[in-house]
Chains A and B, each alone.
Chain A
């Protein structure tokens, strides 16, 4: 009797040192903007798989990549038996069978994990999905499944446990908001990025005047002014949409430091062109060439979000649309003000040159700051 208790002393004294991370798996479910198939990635600790189905086949206390690959079939069988994804599109829920695609490995804070990628082929595009999770619960009641479901740039998270192992994730509610949030992001980006606005202004301000006899003179017809504005804005839009797309998709890349400094340079050149007009009639061409650089600047916002696949395309369209809307709003406010004041000498003799000089100073400041800024921060 006493002997038995002696053996167990250790158990009682046990483990107040046992502060250590529990077993978690990470399940990421992504719904692309189109199609019914969901992309599923499941990160499961190798130590958990070892205990559940055995990976260390040669019993040498290590798990190698070769051993992991060798056990792929039982891993897929075991995992797919413990995860059920069902989709519903306002009718009745239907199963989305998991089709295994790839095995990879990833490093997590508490060790290496097997990364299993599946395609979950839902019969209908899911407005809502239900995740029924039972991995490891039979052998590790404290295991947790951390689910992250994403659609159109928004995400839902859920923590699944033995006694609450079902999560319902509503994609429909987020889909619209996702697109809307990118439009909003685009509008804010152009309104808060004074460099883009100022660049546009350096090209727009001269649209209601003409440089003749070494000074700015008011244009006579509103039609000419409007035509000029439309040309400039259209050229700028086309150019930055082009590079925004190329940059976001990763087909064109320039370091942020160079892009941001170059944007400041375009503002400076735009302002100088008001003070010492070189390009007079074909400012739309300037708008196009320099717009290419601004587009790369917009792209950095989306690159930072780290989206991929269809959610990226959706974000791209939304964000670009937002930028155009924000730009249009500025133009619509500016046109009547500019047109009405074009005859005043304040506009031609003061606002144009002094404004341009101020903008030029600002641009020089930005250039210096941005060129050095990356080194400092």
Chain B
């Protein structure tokens, strides 16, 4: 068979897939879908039932919402975040919602990148209960994501008297590591981690994850790998940590390992993106499938007006499609919403790839103002010096 015929056949097959029709499965035992987090959801069922029978049961509602938020974080599936919102809604709409209701609702909004609304709820909660540690922590996190570092430090400081030293220091080092004190923050947090023995699973996962990300930016890939693996051991299957570890593997061109790490994670868009990058680099057939699947999901999400994927989409355009101009456009839009290391990176890389002079001026100015450090950024030193 000639190469051309082969290609024509391939295109034909592709178009056949694209216009798949609704069908009637031939076999009753055919598995149509896997239920995500089935075990955890099942555990919440008694709470759901209790609330259904007694719609005014606030303690059950708070517990249920927390359960949904936790599953939402683990699976990176926004449906669960929405379920938490729905659970809290009756109280949130009431005249004077309690601080707990406000804080959990704010957490849900934060997950769907609705930062401004989330901050509003947190401020309401803090007016009602100025000693609410969770509210201060969530507020600090959002401010940090938005790149408002001095305000974030202020929020962290309040944690000292409301949540204890470990959490307060973790919070402050997290902010400082982004604003001019990267190595110093890394050392402080590592010391704290050693001094506090081995804290409980989730807190340990959090601290090790933070250390891992700092080590990445310091450029110490070996330390970063150790921290991220420790974090993943503390909270296995965590999508955020998996993405961070996959990125470390991708930076080192360990594409096969990245694919092995994420083999079962096609459902999570952020991880699907890493699969697409690794698969494309290795020129594997799945690479193309993953890339098309990611793009299809982005387009479907956009159709319903959801734009929370911009960071990932910009990176996809740059690393998979090689479309620097469009990637830069997306990175700029994304920059209006969030300013985490990943956002800085995709912006600068896309700007450099377009070779347009001054395309990264906005972000370079921001780096100069904030003292943001990341050794992994392309030729950062020279650019900042200029």
Chain A residues near B (Cβ < 8 Å): 1-2, 4-24, 41, 43, 46-48, 50-51, 56, 59, 61-66, 68-69, 103-112, 115, 138-144, 146, 159, 161, 306, 374-376
Pairwise interchain contact A10-B206, C-beta atoms closer than 8 A: yes
Most chain B CB inside 10 Å of its own CB: which residue of A6, A19, A161: A19
CB distance from A175 to the nearest CB of B (A): 25
Pairwise interchain contact A108-B73, C-beta atoms closer than 8 A: no
B residues 162-203 near A (Cβ < 8 Å) are 162-164, 167, 200, 202-203
Q: At the interface, is chain A mostly helix, strand, loop or mixed? A: mixed
Chain B residues near A (Cβ < 8 Å): 4-5, 8, 19-25, 27-36, 38-39, 41-42, 66, 69-70, 72-73, 76-79, 81-83, 85-86, 89, 104, 107, 110-112, 133-134, 137-138, 140-141, 145, 162-164, 167, 200, 202-203, 205-206, 209, 235, 239-240, 243, 267-270, 293, 296-297, 299-301, 303-306, 308-309, 311-312, 338, 340
Q: A19-B309, A22-B82, A56-B38 are in contact. Are A65 and B28 (CB under 8 A)?
A: yes
Q: Which 7 A-B pairs have the closest CB atoms?
A: A66-B28, A61-B38, A17-B240, A104-B22, A65-B25, A15-B111, A144-B304
Pairwise interchain contact A24-B304, C-beta atoms closer than 8 A: yes
Pairwise interchain contact B297-A110, C-beta atoms closer than 8 A: yes
Residue of A nearest to B141 (CB): A12
Q: At the interface, is chain B mostly helix, strand, loop or mixed? A: helix
Cross-interface CB contact of B304 among A4, A18, A159, A306, cutoff 8 Å:
A159
A–B Cβ pairs within 8 angstroms, 22 of them: A4-B134, A5-B134, A9-B137, A9-B203, A10-B202, A14-B69, A18-B76, A18-B78, A18-B308, A21-B297, A24-B300, A43-B22, A47-B35, A50-B33, A56-B35, A62-B31, A62-B33, A64-B29, A64-B32, A139-B83, A142-B78, A144-B305
Pairwise interchain contact A17-B270, C-beta atoms closer than 8 A: yes
Pairwise interchain contact B240-A15, C-beta atoms closer than 8 A: yes
Besides A66-B28, A110-B267, 18 other A-B contacts (C-beta < 8 A): A5-B162, A6-B203, A9-B202, A10-B235, A14-B107, A17-B270, A18-B112, A23-B78, A47-B35, A56-B38, A63-B32, A65-B28, A65-B30, A105-B25, A109-B296, A140-B86, A141-B82, A146-B304
Pairwise interchain contact A104-B4, C-beta atoms closer than 8 A: no
Give the complex CA separation of A19 and B75 in angstroms: 11
Pairwise interchain contact B296-A61, C-beta atoms closer than 8 A: no
Q: Which chain B residues lie closer than 8 Å to A48 at the CB level?
A: 79
Q: Which chain B residues lie closer than 8 Å to A376 at the CB level?
A: 4
Give the complex CA separation of A43 and B23 in angstroms: 12
Pairwise interchain contact A12-B76, C-beta atoms closer than 8 A: no
Pairwise interchain contact A14-B72, C-beta atoms closer than 8 A: yes
Pairwise interchain contact A59-B38, C-beta atoms closer than 8 A: yes
Q: Which chain A residues lie closer than 8 Å to B36 at the CB level?
A: 47
Pairwise interchain contact B301-A21, C-beta atoms closer than 8 A: yes
Q: Which chain B residues lie closer than 8 Å to A109 at the CB level?
A: 293, 296-297, 299-300
Pairwise interchain contact A104-B33, C-beta atoms closer than 8 A: no
Residue of B nearest to A48 (CB): B79
Give the complex CA separation of A94 and B315 in angstroms: 50
Q: A5-B134, A23-B82 are in contact. Are A18 and B72 (CB under 8 A)?
A: yes
Q: Which chain B residues lie closer than 8 Å to A115 at the CB level?
A: 22
Cross-interface CB contact of A63 among B35, B112, B137, cutoff 8 Å:
B35
Q: Which chain B residues lie closer than 8 Å to A14 at the CB level?
A: 69, 72-73, 107, 110-111
Most chain B CB inside 10 Å of its own CB: which residue of A12, A46, A62: A12
Residue of A nearest to B25 (CB): A65
CB distance from A260 to the nearest CB of B (A): 15
Pairwise interchain contact B300-A110, C-beta atoms closer than 8 A: yes
CB distance from A163 to the nearest CB of B (A): 12
Cross-interface CB contact of B77 among A20, A65, A146, cutoff 8 Å:
A20
Pairwise interchain contact A141-B25, C-beta atoms closer than 8 A: no
Pairwise interchain contact B73-A61, C-beta atoms closer than 8 A: no
